[in-house]
Amino acid sequence: MKYIVGARGSQLSIAQTNWVISELKKVNPDCEYEIKSITTKGDTDSRPLFTINQKGIFEKEVDRAVSQKEVDFAVHSLKDVPSELDESLIIASIPKREAVNDVFISSDDSSLENIKKGAVIGTSSLRRAVQVSRIRPDVTVKPIRGNIETRIKKASGEDFDAIVLAQAGISRLGVDVKFSPLSIETFSPSPGQGAIAIVSRADDENTISMLKKIEDADSRLEIEAERALSDYVDSGCRFPLGAYAKSNGSEMTLTVFAFSVDGKQSLHVSKTGSKNDPKFLGKSAGEELRKKGVNDLALNWREKVEEWNKS
């Protein structure tokens, strides 16, 4: 049996897809896999990600190929997959999650805490930008685009003194670079960060069964809690919200941080509930955020984003 696998053409996407294929070959040694590279809107639009008014900018074209049977399944960074998938598609498998934290990479091996005043720090994420500014209001944060290795090269001290990005991407690419891990307790990650989503057609039972062989049960449950939270408060890549869920025996704790777009206000919620009802846990955390005024934090974010993008 031969499967055609859809993926973005980025280095990270291909590396993730090759990792998925290697895991699948362990449990399906008689199967063959071929990668079909697909260009997405996110690959061709050079604007900072948080200014693009569209969900699924790194996912839509790839998943369209799945639904139209041009490929058998697709591999994504899970945080790129919107909650509203086409009704013909499902997230068939979530393999074991990588590290969820972000990292700080600087030209002189400084940490976020001790980098020089006035340093220019690059990030593609508004959530990261807000948290950097909260911790170090005396630095300048600017948008940065490009693949991971390109961004790392930009942290040379010419245009940027440092960058912030996810540890999972560095790990999956095998990039040899010195970095300072940022604690998830003080620098909250994006919901779904570090996880891979494998999308297939909902009616393709044989492919789903094959993909389920590499699913990690705890990763699936943790992701479902985080996505239920995001869906409830309708956060996207432009609204600064961090969240991570962690299983512990039969329980799961979901920790959430929400920020005003200027970073001056924040909300914190931590909820513990049954691991086997992650969507209820996510909704409960979302309800508490709403009671605390999370909708007020979202006010005027569009103007603030445009202002920050021009800086």
Between CA 30 and CA 112 the distance in angstroms is 48
The distance of Cα 153 from the centroid of its chain, to the nearest Å, equals 21
Between CA 180 and CA 82 the distance in angstroms is 30
Buried b / exposed e along 154-163 (16+ C-beta atoms within 10 A): bbeeeebbbb
* Beta-bridge mates of residue 253: 246, 272
- Active-site residue 80, yes or no? yes
Between CA 87 and CA 299 the distance in angstroms is 31
List the catalytic residue out of 72, 80, 161, 204.
Answer: 80
State the CB neighbour count (10 A cutoff) for residue 226: 30
DSSP code per residue over 136-155: -TTSEEEE--S-HHHHHHHT
End-to-end CA distance of the chain: 53
Between CA 185 and CA 62 the distance in angstroms is 34
Between CA 305 and CA 2 the distance in angstroms is 45
Please identify every residue annotated as catalytic: 80
